[in-house]
Amino acid sequence: MSAFTVRLPDDVAEKLGALAAKLDRSRSYVAAQAIGDFVEREAWQLTDIEAGLREADKGEFATDAEVAATIAKYTRRKRRK
């Protein structure tokens, strides 16, 4: 396991301490969990972005109909009776 120092704004350090107390955990534990979650989320997102860029480089784009169907799926309003 590695150890290093992180500088935090005072308000963030206070919130971290309060959260650690509520969880009955150390500030170090809570910070390590937060950093781990951040690293996993960012790695996942960057992997998906890179995959999308590779698809775009190959010319693999959604058709106009596919885009319209996706937009309609999320913007469709219920009809009033």
The series of mean pLDDT values per 10 residues for the chain, 81 residues long, is 93 97 97 96 95 92 91 78 58
**Contact, 20 vs 29, CB < 8 A?**
yes
What size, in residues, is the chain? 81
What is this structure's pTM?
Answer: 0.66
State residue 6's pLDDT score. Answer: 93
Give the distance, in angstroms, between the CA of residue 73 and the centroid of all CA atoms in the same chain.
Answer: 23
Name the phi and psi angles at 52, rounded to 5.
-65, -40
Which tokens is 44 given?
A: 């996942």
